[in-house]
């Protein structure tokens, strides 16, 4: 998710500015992460404890009415790319009963009580009014317009995340909600194409039910709505990899923003410079995520799987390749098996090129469903390529992994060590040395 402008606009959250120092997360809390770290380091890598014995192995939430979340043909965000991901996943893993994927296809809009887990009643009333208005009403400074039926459309996306969360908690298998991931919406306002924050509502429900949540966000934009929404919560570990807020909307997500009160030391921001690429994401992900999750010991993992970090994206410049996304997906699935007995909700997110969004999310589905994931060189199905052409009037890529050539990355090994050092100092943890 994201907005069409760039810059350093800072949201009116009432929270300290990123450079305000936050008086040190270490001082505020002797960090559960730090105290648990040494113990967790000795955990055997073979601590699996989760065995897939039944079919299906993944639940996918997709209702054709998710399309109703539509800002119009001129707007950069479209659920059409997610629909093409679903079609591709259906093509390579044909629906069957029983089969490796359970499809949840009928999702009514979320009830008001569900939305109120995260959103304020006054804001819900404002969206309801915009939803009924005959003329377009802007819901934020300009990127997120209301439209007829926007309340129900956004509430249906929320219900998708809620359904996915309920399914994974109950069934102990991963759930995938490609249409979701609207991580910029705040309790009282829309932001960055996001009217309601489906992932935050799902996290709120898990917290309300006394669960600990590890929230991972790999969208190119900082997941500000989720992070600030749980900034003081000791039940939410939030780890967010994104393009540096000095170069991209929403202008937040600095390492010094590390949580407050019970949440101190549990909000982990990993900003990367434009052009960073796989050489930045992959080693940092492997050094940071398993270590902190093993220390925190979540009950469920929630992933916002934006694809706007993909090389060639029209709004961000992180230059990740499909191989990096597949690596992240396999790592996350392994951690869910190890730590949460398979309780994992993965949503979609931003991504403004249909060719990358569709293939990356579809391959994520194959990895989560534990079927043979196609490798980069494998050809895409001819039937899907025809659907792609019919939907977009453009030629589909030929293989799963072809992508624009990344420009040379400015990221150096010393940049990784410097960032790791800042995180260790801010969070009061020690991260593994480079492998
Ligand atoms: Zn984004």
Tell me the CA–centroid distance for residue 349 and ligand 1, in Å. 6
List of residues 6+ apart from 96 with CB closer than 8 A: none
Tell me the CA–centroid distance for residue 243 and ligand 1, in Å. 9
Q: Is 48 exposed, middle or buried (0-12, 13-18, 19+ CB in 10 A)?
A: exposed
| Per-residue pLDDT tens over the stretch 232-281 | 999 999 999 999 999 999 999 999 999 999 999 999 999 999 999 999 99
Tell me the CA–centroid distance for residue 152 and ligand 1, in Å. 23
Tell me the CA–centroid distance for residue 209 and ligand 1, in Å. 29
Positions of the chain with pLDDT lower than 70, given as ranges: 1-54
Structure tokens at 152: 């129900």
| Per-residue pLDDT tens over the stretch 163-202 | 999 999 999 999 999 999 999 999 999 999 999 999 999 9
Tell me the CA–centroid distance for residue 96 and ligand 1, in Å. 33
Q: What is the largest CA-CA distance in the chain?
A: 61
C-alpha triplet 6, 176, 81: angle, nearest 5°: 50
pLDDT reported for residue 329: 98
26-427 CATH choice from 3.40.800.20, 2.40.50.100, 3.40.190.10, 3.30.2350.10: 3.40.800.20
Q: What is the pTM of this model?
A: 0.89
Tell me the CA–centroid distance for residue 191 and ligand 1, in Å. 11
List of residues 6+ apart from 295 with CB closer than 8 A: 32, 33, 36, 37, 40, 429
Residue 104 DSSP SS3: strand
Tell me the CA–centroid distance for residue 287 and ligand 1, in Å. 23
Give the whole-angstrom CA distance, residue 348 versus residue 206: 19
Give the whole-angstrom CA distance, residue 118 versus residue 229: 8
Positions annotated as catalytic residues are: 184
Is the bond leading into 289 cis (omega within 30 degrees of zero)? no
List of residues 6+ apart from 293 with CB closer than 8 A: 214, 237, 301, 335, 339
Q: Is 188 exposed, middle or buried (0-12, 13-18, 19+ CB in 10 A)?
A: middle
Tell me the CA–centroid distance for residue 325 and ligand 1, in Å. 15
Element (H, E) at 338: helix 322-339
Give the whole-angstrom CA distance, residue 59 versus residue 56: 7
C-alpha triplet 347, 185, 340: angle, nearest 5°: 35
C-alpha triplet 154, 155, 156: angle, nearest 5°: 90
Tell me the CA–centroid distance for residue 345 and ligand 1, in Å. 18
pLDDT reported for residue 110: 98
Tell me the CA–centroid distance for residue 68 and ligand 1, in Å. 20
Residue ranges of domains in the chain: 26-427
Residues bordering ligand 1, an ion, CB closer than 5 Å: 1-2, 219-221, 306, 308, 350
Q: Which of 350, 360, 351, 354 is nearest to 394 (CA)?
A: 354
DSSP-assigned letters across all residues of 201-233: HHHHHHHHTT--EEEEE-SSS--HHHHHHTTT-
Tell me the CA–centroid distance for residue 432 and ligand 1, in Å. 29
């Amino acid at each position: 998710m994201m907005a069409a402008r760039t810059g350093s606009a800072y949201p009116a959250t009432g929270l300290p500015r990123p450079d305000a120092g936050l008086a040190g997360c270490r001082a505020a809390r002797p960090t559960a992460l730090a105290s648990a770290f040494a113990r967790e380091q000795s955990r055997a890598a073979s601590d699996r404890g989760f065995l897939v014995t039944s079919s299906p192995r993944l639940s996918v939430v997709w209702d054709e009415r998710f399309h109703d979340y539509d800002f119009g043909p001129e707007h950069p965000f479209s659920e059409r790319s997610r629909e093409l991901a679903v079609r591709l996943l259906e093509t390579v893993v044909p629906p069957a009963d029983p089969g490796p994927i359970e499809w949840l296809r009928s999702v009514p809009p979320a009830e008001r009580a569900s939305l109120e887990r995260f959103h304020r009643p006054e804001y819900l009333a404002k969206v309801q009014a915009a939803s009924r208005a005959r003329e377009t009403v802007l819901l934020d400074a300009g990127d997120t317009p209301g439209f007829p039926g926007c309340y129900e459309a956004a509430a249906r996306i929320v219900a998708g995340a809620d359904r996915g969360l309920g399914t994974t908690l109950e069934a102990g298998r991963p759930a995938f909600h490609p249409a979701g991931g609207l991580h910029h919406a705040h309790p009282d306002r829309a932001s960055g194409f996001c009217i309601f924050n489906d992932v935050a509502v799902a996290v709120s429900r898990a917290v309300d039910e006394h669960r600990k949540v590890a929230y991972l966000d790999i969208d190119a934009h900082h997941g500000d709505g989720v992070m600030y929404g749980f900034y003081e919560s000791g039940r939410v570990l939030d780890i967010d990899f994104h393009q540096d807020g000095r170069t991209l909307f929403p202008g937040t997500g600095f390492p010094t923003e590390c949580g407050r009160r019970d949440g101190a030391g549990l909000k982990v921001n990993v900003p990367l410079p434009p052009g960073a690429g796989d050489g930045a994401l992959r080693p940092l992900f492997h050094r940071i995520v398993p270590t902190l999750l093993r220390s925190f010991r979540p009950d469920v993992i929630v992933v916002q799987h934006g694809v706007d970090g993909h090389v060639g994206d029209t709004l961000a410049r992180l230059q990740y390749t499909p191989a990096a996304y597949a690596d992240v997906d396999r790592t996350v699935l392994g951690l869910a098996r190890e730590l949460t007995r398979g309780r994992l909700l993965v949503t979609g997110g931003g991504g403004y090129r249909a060719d990358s969004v569709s293939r990356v999310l579809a391959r994520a589905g194959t990895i989560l469903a534990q079927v043979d994931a196609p490798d980069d060189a494998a050809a895409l199905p001819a039937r899907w390529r025809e659907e792609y052409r019919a939907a977009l009037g453009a030629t589909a890529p030929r293989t799963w992994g072809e992508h624009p050539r990344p420009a040379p990355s400015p990221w150096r090994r010393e940049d990784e060590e410097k960032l790791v050092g800042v995180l260790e100092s801010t969070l009061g943890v020690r991260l593994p040395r480079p492998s």
